[in-house]
Amino acid sequence: MSFDKFSDILSTIAEKVDDNKYLSSIKMTFTIYLPLIIIGSFATLFNVLLTSKTTGLAQFGPFDFLTSIEPAFTAIKFATMDIMTIPIIVILGMVLAKKNKQNEYVAGLVALASYITVIPQGIKTFVDNAESIVKGLPTSGIDASGLFIGMILTILVIEAFSKLANIDKLKIKMPPTVPAAITNSFNAIIPLFIILIIVSILGNIFKNISGLYLNEAIYNWVQAPLENAFQSPAGILFIIFLSQLFWLLGIHGGLIISPIRNPLAIAALAANIAAVEAGLQPTEAITLGFWFVFVVPGGAGLTFCLIIANLIASRREDHRMLSKTALVPGIFGISEPVVFGLPLILNPTFAIPFTIGPVITVGLALIAVNTGFITPNIVDVPFGIPLGINAFLGFGFKGVIVQLLILIIGILIYLPFVLFANKQVAKGNQ
């Protein structure tokens, strides 16, 4: 297969992903909710470092008053991380409804109500060895373990709601004098009733047949295996390589893979936080914080390493000038000046280090995790935090060491290709 044909195939895939209503809606949903996830992870960190009697500053006498504010950080974590499936369902329902030109608020509510009908609505309690059920939503239905079934059900429900809402015979006719907001609400009653009845009955039938609630079954059969595959070396290396291939074609690889990567990475972060709260060691290496700190430090494809390699060894004035311009953005993880300015798009000279480099260097980070040198993170630092600082916030001082080693290796990977670019200039080949 020629490179041009391969390029056409990848471009077609990228266009379909970007144009896909559902994948783009999922991507938008997690983009909207990401700030709250970051805040929730920092709340856990503050508990560990400040208010905990065993690991925090509060273990020392003068600072034991800090334990009094532990419930505040715990409440923030609960409101952002422990119930994340609920707001994500609402946001995804609203985003999809907007694309379908339906009432966003009603759609978000019907998505949430539908989901609640298919998960447990009671929590088992034991009093004097007697089991009883208390009304409420168990954590397993509203935390990260419910993400996949929540998103799948939301897509199905919103599509059904959109079709039913467009059927004129299902609308309750109101006099023209009635305000539009009230008319729209009444128009949604019958479609909402039909959807909730169908979803609830089907969910009940599924529970009676399988013995599992729908969220429990989907987590066991779909989400957990995907999470395991994502956390495996082969899984993460494949996703990184695929992302870089899209970048090589001038397509934002991070945006293409984010609908798949983000839910899995966020679920991994939630699992790490839950482990720490239970007094255990976090085990899930691949989170968004891991991605920003070790997979794309200084930009996708280790472009910061190319910038430094150019400043060290390039004799091409255009490459040196561009690298000087892109140096500061690169420190903040912005790769576009190099990707589109050098350019790296369809650039045979730098194609190998650009696509293979991150695959090689991320292996070092995985070794650091597997050997216990660094611990999987419980704090997801957002994109845009400068190099070094992002590693320290997410992984401590040892994380800075690993990131520095990755950058050094990345520079060494790029240097031979920078020297080759020099020879191309000497031969008159730009």
pLDDT digits 0-9 by tens, 61-71: 788 888 899 89
User: Are 138 and 40 found together in one domain?
Assistant: yes
User: Are 176 and 256 found together in one domain?
Assistant: no
**Is residue 16 in a domain?**
no
Output the CA angle 326-37-275, nearest 5 degrees.
115
**Is residue 4 in a domain?**
no
User: Are 190 and 239 found together in one domain?
Assistant: no
Task: Quote the pTM value.
Answer: 0.81
Q: Which helix (H) or strand (E) holds 92?
A: helix 85-99
Instruction: Choose among 115, 105, 111: nearest CA to 137.
Output: 115
**Is residue 7 in a domain?**
no
User: Are 208 and 321 found together in one domain?
Assistant: no
Alpha-helical runs (H) found in 166-315: 180-187, 189-210, 214-218, 224-231, 233-248, 253-277, 288-290, 303-313
For residue 421, give every residue at least 6 positions away whose Cβ sits within 8 Å of its Cβ, in sequence order, or none.
314, 316, 319, 349, 350
**Is residue 418 in a domain?**
yes
In the DSSP assignment, the letter for residue 173 is P
Three-state SS for 213?
coil
User: Are 267 and 348 found together in one domain?
Assistant: yes
CA contacts within 13 A on the Cβ side of 334? 12
pLDDT of 291 reads 93
User: Are 146 and 252 found together in one domain?
Assistant: no
User: Are 211 and 317 found together in one domain?
Assistant: no
Listed residues 177, 196, 222: the one ending a domain: 222
User: Are 339 and 267 found together in one domain?
Assistant: yes
User: Are 399 and 276 found together in one domain?
Assistant: yes
Q: How many structural domains are present in the chain? A: 2
**Is residue 341 in a domain?**
yes
**Is residue 12 in a domain?**
no
Q: Which domain holds residue 328?
A: 234-426
pLDDT digits 0-9 by tens, 352-387: 899 899 998 899 999 999 999 999 999 888 888 889
User: Are 147 and 285 found together in one domain?
Assistant: no
**Is residue 194 in a domain?**
yes
User: Are 293 and 388 found together in one domain?
Assistant: yes
Neighbours of 138 (CB within 10 A): 17
User: Are 104 and 243 found together in one domain?
Assistant: no
Distance CA 41, CA 79 (A): 11
Kindly indicate the confidence band of residue 171, based on its pLDDT and cuts at 50, 70 and 90: confident
